[in-house]
């Protein structure tokens, strides 16, 4: 297909003739059948909703087809409208456009739906089991068409995948504003999502799926490596290395698939359980996991050998995590660090597979008999926590990986609560990411080279490494370890062959680092050293991006962790300071109704206006969260904020006075 043919097809939107039906591709990983939740009249409404994307002449055929899709899959994906071209990141100018910012957004959308990148590409799910880019293929086609024709005086508005339309705006406003899953708070349960999504009126955008900022598992390898490395520092109190130590967890999916690679980068042995053979195969074929064992009796001697030989190796157990934890306990194998990355933010709809049932059996049961499936999940979680408790009783350091494991285990009646009602294990944010990264402003900054050329990525890596080397020299001791871990990461990133999909890089950085790197990119684009614009952005899982009481804001202890002002303010603030696109989501990581998060994308095009915007926007994007964390009396954030106020004229933040606890105790006694 020539580039012109491709451009014409992208700009076509809904085709004037009905395309031929598409066969269901068995080679690809598909979303499980969703819960049959709609009443008969609601099903009619779902079909009517779906048909409004199409001219009446198609309705006869499509009404039947959509009714069939709803009955077979629990959703109307409109498979027939999946385009015939390969959806993947390409050079920015290969996308038809009148606005280069719009073309950059098309590149990012395409990457999120690439068969090599997305978890269930034909159901438009990028990761996390239900992290959707769009709800159906009509939304994809219309969005791409709008982007192909929009100018820098318009803004595209997208409601949960639905392209509401192009609205006149001005060149300094975002080109795109996305919201995902925003509902009235009282209508935010798991079943509400099932229902609204089946009706085609809302979607779960995860974090970087529905905001078009996913960069493949690399995005999470860095964060996971930081987490494992710092978890290692917790157990290696005298600074011993992680050689010969063992890390056990579950999941080789979208994000969880990063665990074996990150463990190897951190120098620790890993055993990761995964029930889905296709997911195991994907990670194995990508070289992200070294060896696969479907048989526990063969795995155990291999683990023992790895420990005694102090190997750095990653092993996959193709089976259920509950069986793995129990077997390791029965065999008295000491696990140094443990976690879990099943998709428990989505426990009843394919995120968690209960023990004692095959993968296919579970998939059948969850739609045929949701009640029995729920019960199986509940029993499995109790067994899993019992097995984990046996290990922690022997000294294993276990942490919740932000997948709602402790939350769902406690709801299931698992033994995970302390007498005071708090969880007996920390979340990785409480112990590691919060105090060590977020409170100082370090978060998952990332960029994508719009030339799609690996040579540009090498250049950006070198630029970022130079910036960090310079910053380390003048850094205070409190953040030097982080900076040097990140410098090491960026120097090794090319060698670790982390790119899957777009030419992208992640690099944890604080406000100063993000700004200096982005300014240096802008200069290199202006001087044509980098051959095309660069998109900068971040995971929502960041300092300011996410209000999530059991994850990103779990280390906020002033009672405000159930508020979501920070994330909402963040998106509003980014949008008027120069972001190219912004997105605000209900749900992401820990589940619908459990979190509000937002993010941005910004096209770095080498102009002076862009430098001004990026300085202003990145400064706010990080310091909003630091200010909130400082107000919550987090010491590290108070330190970071004080430092920022000293170097940023115009920044004046309310800082807390710290009251004496004894004084309050005394006052209470007398009250
Ligand atoms: N990696 C991170 O840094 C990070 C951070 C925050 C949260 N999370 C959370 O981790 C979870 C996983 O994310 P993902 O993108 O990998 O999701 P995913 O759905 O792509 O992968 C999860 C995998 O777990 C497997 N699985 C489910 N139940 C299992 C069981 N009982 N035993 C063994 N395997 C089982 C599934 O088959 C699936 O492949 C999500 O809830 C996500 O929000 C990850």
Q: b/e string for 62-84 if b means 16 or more Cβ within 10 A?
A: bbebbbebbeebbbbbbbbbbbe
Cα 118 to averaged position of ligand 1 atoms, centre (Å): 14
Query: Could you count the other beta carbons within 10 Å of the beta carbon of residue 498?
Result: 23
Ligand 1 pocket by Cβ (under 6 Å): 119, 127-129, 220, 223-224, 250-256, 258, 273-276, 279, 320-321, 341-345, 351-353, 401-403, 589
d(CA 231, CA 2): 50
Averaged pLDDT, 478-488: 92
Dihedral, 252, 253, 257, 259 alpha carbons, nearest 10: -70
Q: Which among 112, 122, 191 has a CA at the least distance from the CA of 583? A: 112
Rounded distance between C-alpha atoms, residue 10 and residue 176, angstroms? 18
Instruction: Provide the residue count of the chain.
Output: 671
**How would DSSP label each residue in 450-501?**
TT--HHHHHHHHHHHHHHHHHHHHT--HHHHHHHHHHHHHHHHHTTTT---S
3-state secondary structure of 405: helix
Residue 267 CA, ligand 1 centroid: distance in Å: 22
Cβ–Cβ contacts within 10 Å for residue 565, how many? Answer: 12
Residues facing residue 537 across a β-bridge? 446, 601
CA angle 271, 273, 275 (to 5 degrees): 160
pLDDT at 9: 98
Q: What is the pLDDT of residue 100?
A: 97
Any residues with CB less than 8 A from the CB of 417 and at least 6 apart, and which?
A: 410, 423, 424
d(CA 216, CA 294): 26
Residue nearest to atom 34 of ligand 1 (CA): 274
* Percent of the chain scoring above 70 in pLDDT: 100
What pLDDT, on the 0 to 100 scale, is given for residue 44? 98
Question: How remote is the CA of residue 638 from the centroid of ligand 1, in Å?
Answer: 34
Query: Which residue out of 210, 218, 253 has the highest number of ligand 1 atoms within 8 Å of its CB and is therefore the one to mutate?
Result: 253
Q: Please give the pLDDT value at position 496.
A: 81
> For residue 257, which atom of ligand 1 is closest to its CA?
16
- Kindly give the distance from the C-alpha atom of residue 653 to the centroid of ligand 1, in angstroms, as a whole number: 38
Spatial CA neighbour of 156 closest among 98, 215, 89: 98
Q: Which residue has better confidence, 448 or 550?
A: 448
At residue 342 the predicted structure's pLDDT band, cuts being 50, 70 and 90, is very high
CA-nearest residue for atom 17, ligand 1, is: 128
CA distance 582 to 570: 10
Q: In angstroms, rounded to a whole number, what is the distance separating the alpha carbons of residues 628 and 595?
A: 17
Mutate to test the pocket of ligand 1, among 342, 344, 444 (most ligand atoms within 8 A of CB): 342
Q: Which atom of ligand 1 is nearest to the CA of 320?
A: 32
Residue 467: CB atoms within 10 A of its CB come to 24
CA 555 to ligand 1 center in whole angstroms: 22
According to the model, what pLDDT value does residue 286 have?
Answer: 85
- CA atoms of 65 and 18, how far apart (whole Å): 12
**What is the distance between the alpha carbons of residues 603 and 100, in angstroms, rounded to a whole number?**
9
Express each pLDDT in 72-89 by its tens digit.
999 999 999 999 999 999
Cα–chain center distance at 345: 12
User: In 584-607, which residue ranges form alpha helices assigned H by DSSP?
Assistant: none
Identify the band that residue 402 occupies on the pLDDT scale cut at 50, 70 and 90: confident
Ligand 1 atom at minimum distance from 227 CA:
3
pTM greater than 0.85: yes
How many CB atoms are located within 10 Å of the residue 542 CB? 28
Angle at 315 between CA 310 and CA 318, to 5 degrees: 155
Residue 416 pLDDT class (50, 70, 90 cuts):
very high
Provide the token pair at 499. Answer: 């790119």
What pLDDT shows up at residue 237?
74
Specify which residues 246 forms β-bridges with: 269
Tokens of 167: 């609205």
Q: What are the pLDDT digits (tens) for 493-519?
A: 998 888 999 999 999 999 999 999 999
């Amino acid at each position: 297909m020539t580039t012109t043919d491709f451009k014409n097809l992208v700009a076509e939107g809904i085709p004037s003739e009905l395309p031929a039906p598409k066969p269901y591709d068995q080679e690809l990983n598909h979303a499980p059948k969703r819960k049959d939740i709609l009443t008969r009249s609601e099903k009619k409404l779902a079909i009517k909703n779906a048909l409004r994307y199409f001219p009446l002449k198609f309705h006869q055929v499509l009404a039947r087809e959509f009714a069939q899709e709803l009955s077979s899959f629990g959703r109307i994906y409109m498979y027939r409208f999946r385009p015939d071209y390969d959806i993947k990141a390409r050079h920015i100018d290969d996308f038809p456009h009148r606005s280069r910012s719009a073309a950059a957004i098309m590149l990012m959308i395409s990457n999120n739906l690439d068969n090599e990148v997305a978890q269930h590409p034909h159901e438009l799910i990028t990761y996390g089991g239900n992290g959707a880019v769009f709800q159906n293929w009509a939304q994809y086609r219309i969005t791409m068409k709008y982007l192909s024709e929009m100018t820098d005086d318009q803004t595209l508005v997208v409601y949960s995948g639905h392209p509401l339309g192009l609205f006149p705006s001005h060149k300094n406003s975002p080109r795109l504003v996305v919201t995902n899953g925003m509902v009235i708070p009282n209508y935010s349960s798991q079943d509400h999502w099932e229902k609204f999504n089946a009706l085609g009126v809302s979607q779960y955008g995860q974090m970087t799926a529905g905001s078009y900022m996913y960069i493949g598992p690399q995005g999470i390898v860095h964060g996971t490596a930081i987490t494992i490395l710092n978890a290692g520092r917790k157990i290696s109190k005298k600074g011993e290395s992680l050689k010969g130590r063992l890390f056990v967890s579950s999941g080789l999916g979208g994000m969880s698939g990063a665990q074996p690679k990150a463990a190897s980068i951190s120098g620790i042995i890993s055993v990761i359980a995964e029930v889905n053979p296709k997911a195991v195969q994907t990670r194995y074929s990508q070289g992200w996991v070294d060896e696969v064992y479907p048989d526990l009796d063969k795995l155990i001697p291999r683990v023992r050998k790895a420990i005694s030989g102090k190997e750095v190796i990653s092993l996959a157990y193709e089976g259920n995590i509950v069986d793995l934890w129990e077997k390791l306990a029965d065999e008295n194998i000491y696990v140094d660090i443990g976690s879990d990355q099943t998709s428990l933010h989505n426990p009843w709809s394919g995120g968690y597979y209960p023990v004692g049932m095959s993968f296919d059996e579970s998939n059948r049961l969850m739609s045929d008999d949701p009640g029995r499936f729920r019960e199986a999940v509940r029993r499995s979680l109790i067994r899993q926590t019992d097995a984990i408790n046996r290990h922690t009783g022997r000294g294993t350091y276990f942490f919740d990986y932000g997948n709602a494991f402790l939350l769902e285990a406690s709801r299931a009646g698992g033994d995970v609560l302390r007498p005071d009602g708090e969880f007996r294990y920390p979340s990785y944010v409480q112990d590691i990411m919060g105090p060590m990264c977020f409170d100082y402003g370090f978060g998952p900054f990332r960029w994508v080279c719009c030339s799609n050329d690996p040579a540009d990525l090498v250049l950006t890596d070198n630029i970022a490494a130079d910036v960090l080397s310079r910053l380390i020299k003048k850094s205070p001791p409190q953040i030097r370890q982080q900076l040097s871990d990140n410098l090491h990461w960026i120097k090794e990133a090319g060698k670790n062959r982390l790119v899957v999909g777009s030419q992208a890089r992640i690099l944890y950085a604080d406000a100063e680092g993000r700004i200096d790197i982005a300014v240096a990119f802008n200069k290199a684009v202006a001087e044509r050293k980098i051959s095309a614009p660069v998109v900068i952005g971040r995971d929502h899982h960041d300092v300011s991006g996410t209000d999530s009481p059991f994850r990103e804001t779990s280390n906020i202890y002033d009672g405000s962790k159930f508020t979501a002002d920070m994330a909402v303010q963040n998106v509003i603030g980014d949008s008027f300071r120069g972001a190219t696109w912004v997105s605000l989501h209900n749900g992401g990581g820990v589940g619908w109704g459990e979190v509000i998060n937002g993010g941005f994308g910004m096209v770095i095009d080498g102009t002076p206006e862009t430098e001004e915007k990026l300085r202003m926007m990145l400064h706010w994007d990080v310091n909003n969260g630091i200010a909130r964390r400082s107000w919550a009396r987090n010491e590290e954030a108070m330190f970071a904020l004080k430092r920022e106020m000293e170097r940023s004229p115009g920044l004046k933040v309310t800082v807390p006075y710290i009251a004496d606890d004894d004084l309050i105790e005394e006052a209470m006694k007398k009250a």
